[in-house]
Chain A
Amino acid sequence: MIEVQNLVKKYGDFTALHGISFKAREGEILGFLGPNGAGKTTTMRILTGFMPPTSGVAKVAGHDIFDESLAAREKIGYLPETVPLYPDMTVQGYLEFMAELRHVPERKKRTQEVLALVGMEHRAKSLIRSISKGMRQRVGLAQSLIHNPPVLILDEPTIGLDPAQVADLRSFIRDLRTQHTVMFSTHILSEAEQICDRVVIINRGQIVAQGAPRELRSKLNLGSRIYVEARGRADQKSLANTLSKIQGVKFAEPYQNGVVVNVKDNKDVRPALAAVVLENGLELLELRPVAITLEEIFLEVTTALGAEEDA
Chain B
Amino acid sequence: MRNIWTVFKRELRQYFVSPIAYLVMFAVLMLIGLNFNTDLQDRANFEPADGTVVLSTFAFLMVFFAPLLTMRLFAEETREGTLELMLTMPIRDHELVIGKFLGAWAFYSIMLVVTLFYQGILLSLTNFDPSPAPLQSELDLGPIIGGYIGIWLFSGATIAIGMFFSAMTENQIIAGFLSMAVLFILWVGDLAGLLPASIVSTRVAEALRVISLQSHYSTSFLEGVIRPEDVYFYAGVMFIMLFVTTRLVESRRWR
Contact = CB atoms under 8 A, between A and B. Distances in A.
Interface string B80-96: 11111111111110000
Interface in A240-254: none
Contacts, number: 67
B254 interface: yes
A184 to B, nearest CB: 16
Nearest to A69: B90
Nearest to B85: A84
Interface in B2-22: 2-3, 6-7, 10, 14, 17-18
In this complex, the interface size class of chain B, counting residues with CB under 8 Å from chain A, is 20 to 34
Interface of B is mostly: helix
B203 interface: no
Contact of B88 (A50, A71, A82): A50
Interface in A119-153: 143
A126 to B, nearest CB: 14
Nearest to A80: B84
A85 B83 CA distance: 10
Interface stretch (A94-102, A221-229, A256-264): A94-102
B84 to A, nearest CB: 5
B90 A88 contact: no
Consensus secondary structure, chain A interface? loop
A80 B253 contact: no
Contacts of B6: 97, 100-101
Nearest to A48: B88
Interface string A102-130: 11000000000000000000000000000
A84 B80 CA distance: 6
A74 interface: yes
Given A100-B6, A101-B6, A88 B18 contact: yes
A51 B253 contact: yes
Interface string B37-81: 000000000000000000000000000000000000000000011
A70 B90 CA distance: 5
A59 interface: no
A152 to B, nearest CB: 13
A49 B80 contact: no
A127 B17 CA distance: 11
Contact of B82 (A70, A81, A84): A84
A50 B84 contact: yes
B89 A102 contact: yes
A84 B81 contact: yes
Given A51-B253, A52-B254, A86 B82 contact: yes
A52 B253 contact: yes
Interface in A195-233: none
A18 to B, nearest CB: 19
B88 A78 contact: yes
Contacts of A49: 87-88
A52 B255 CA distance: 10
Contacts of B84: 45, 50, 80, 82, 84
Residue of B87, B88, B89, B252 with most chain A CB atoms under a 10 A cut-off: B88
A78 B85 contact: yes
Interface string A169-196: 0000000000000000000000000000
Contacts of A45: 84
Interface in B222-255: 252-255
Given A11-B255, A80-B81, A73 B14 contact: no
B92 A70 contact: yes
Contacts of B82: 84-86
Contacts of A2: none
A76 B89 CA distance: 9
A85 B85 CA distance: 9
8 contacts: A11-B255, A48-B88, A49-B87, A70-B92, A85-B80, A86-B80, A87-B80, A88-B17
Interface of A: 11, 45, 48-52, 70-71, 73-74, 76, 78, 80-89, 97, 100-103, 143
Interface of B: 2-3, 6-7, 10, 14, 17-18, 80-92, 252-255
Top 3 nearest A-B pairs (CB, nearest first) are A82-B81, A84-B85, A84-B82
